[in-house]
Amino acid sequence: MELKEKIIGKSLLLIALSSVMILGLITFFIFEQGIPLISKVGPLNFILGERWVPSKGEFGIFPMIVSSFWVTAGALALGIPLGLACTIFLAEWSPPSFAMVLRPAIHLLAAIPSVIYGFWGLVILVPLVRDRLGGPGLSILSGSLILGFMTLPTIISISEDSLKALPPTYKQGALALGATHWQTIWRVLIPAARSGIVASIILGMGRAVGETMAMIMILGNAVQMPSSFLDSARTLTTNIGIEMGYASGDHRQALFATGIVLFLIIMGLNSLAIFLSRRRMGS
């Protein structure tokens, strides 16, 4: 039995190390392909440049960085209040029989392919925005609304787990002191679980920043500095997805360099989420 456990332990360790090795190889490949272009153009010119014209050797991704954060901010403006409201309902007010139906339905949102979200947005949401608010319809607003729904499973599931992980004495003590149910939730439970809730929001933000297919279909893919949520835009991920199929030479290296910037942004968000989660567990 002891030998069998050792074999299982070594096998699991090998699998874990292989995952780390694969991640390391991917990281090495991206940086090996992208760093030469960044060195050639200059980090500041690449990151802060506002013109992306590969045929003329101009590789500035600042409009795409700004567009990525505009779309993400719009998605969080929808996803945070809606996700938090749904979390509170599931954790505190939902009847058990209804929660058994609602919770799997929310998790199912994460399993829907992004191209389906994009198709739905293209057919339903884009004409609605164009007719009601003006502009081309293929806009940051349309992309933000779609991404807002796509971030909901992440925000709701992690936030609900954070609320349920709190000691029952928190709620019992607040109610015993005369607080109402809503006062207990808003002034005691939510602040106590704030680290986990913030971590869920950051992970949802990473999901929004990294989305590609739905955004290709909805944003309009215009390489320009956005000035309104009704403007068309192009994010870092859509830029890679659109142009990688035909890029070559410096153009191809510039797309890998774009991947480096995106990689660092998402790694930073995930690291922040891990830090906040550990802080919550230690508190």
Q: Which two tokens stand for residue 143?
A: 């992309």
Q: What sign does the dihedral 172-173-178-184 (CA atoms) show?
A: negative
Q: Report the pLDDT value the prediction gives residue 260, as an integer from 0 to 100.
A: 93
For residue range 230-269, what is the model confidence (pLDDT) as tens digits?
A: 999 999 999 999 998 888 899 999 999 999 999 898 888 7
What is the domain range of residue 168? 63-247+263-282
Q: Is residue 29 part of a domain?
A: no
Q: Report the pLDDT value the prediction gives residue 15, as an integer from 0 to 100.
A: 87
3-state secondary structure of 226: coil
Q: Where are the alpha helices (DSSP H) in the chain?
A: 2-41, 43-48, 62-88, 96-111, 114-120, 126-133, 140-164, 168-176, 181-184, 190-192, 194-210, 213-218, 236-243, 250-282
- For residue 195, pLDDT beyond 60: yes
8 A C-beta contact, residue 184 and residue 171: yes
Q: How far apart are CA 188 and CA 131, in angstroms?
A: 44
Which residues, in sequence order, are CB contacts of 243 under 8 Å at separation 6+?
A: 54, 251, 255
Q: What sign does the dihedral 72-269-157-87 (CA atoms) show?
A: negative
For residue range 266-282, what is the model confidence (pLDDT) as tens digits?
A: 888 778 777 766 665 55
* CATH code assigned at 119: 1.10.3720.10
**Average pLDDT in the chain:** 89
Q: Mean per-residue pLDDT for 68-73?
A: 92
- For residue 29, pLDDT beyond 80: yes
Q: Report the pLDDT value the prediction gives residue 30, as an integer from 0 to 100.
A: 92
8 A C-beta contact, residue 141 and residue 241: no
In total, how many domains does the chain have?
Answer: 1
- For residue 13, pLDDT beyond 60: yes
Q: Is residue 17 part of a domain?
A: no
Q: Report the pLDDT value the prediction gives residue 282, as an integer from 0 to 100.
A: 52
Q: Mean per-residue pLDDT for 155-164?
A: 91
Q: How far apart are the first and last CA of the chain?
A: 38
Q: What is the DSSP letter of 265?
A: H
How many Cα atoms within 13 Å fall on the side-chain side of residue 247? 19
Q: Is residue 8 part of a domain?
A: no
Q: Report the pLDDT value the prediction gives residue 123, as an integer from 0 to 100.
A: 92
Q: Is residue 275 part of a domain?
A: yes
Q: Report the pLDDT value the prediction gives residue 280, as an integer from 0 to 100.
A: 54
Q: Report the pLDDT value the prediction gives residue 121, as an integer from 0 to 100.
A: 92
Residue 120, class by beta-carbon neighbours within 10 Å (0-12 exposed, 13-18 middle, 19+ buried)?
middle
Q: How confident is the model at residue 52 (pLDDT cuts 50, 70, 90)?
A: very high
Q: Is residue 90 part of a domain?
A: yes
Q: Mean per-residue pLDDT for 58-86?
A: 93
Q: Report the pLDDT value the prediction gives residue 283, as an integer from 0 to 100.
A: 53
Q: How confident is the model at residue 152 (pLDDT cuts 50, 70, 90)?
A: very high
- For residue 193, pLDDT beyond 60: yes
pTM: 0.86
For residue range 106-132, what is the model confidence (pLDDT) as tens digits?
A: 888 888 888 999 999 999 999 999 999
Q: Is residue 10 part of a domain?
A: no
8 A C-beta contact, residue 142 and residue 218: yes
Q: Is residue 223 part of a domain?
A: yes
Q: Report the pLDDT value the prediction gives residue 209, as an integer from 0 to 100.
A: 86
Which residues, in sequence order, are CB contacts of 109 under 8 Å at separation 6+?
A: 149, 150, 152, 153
Q: Is residue 240 part of a domain?
A: yes
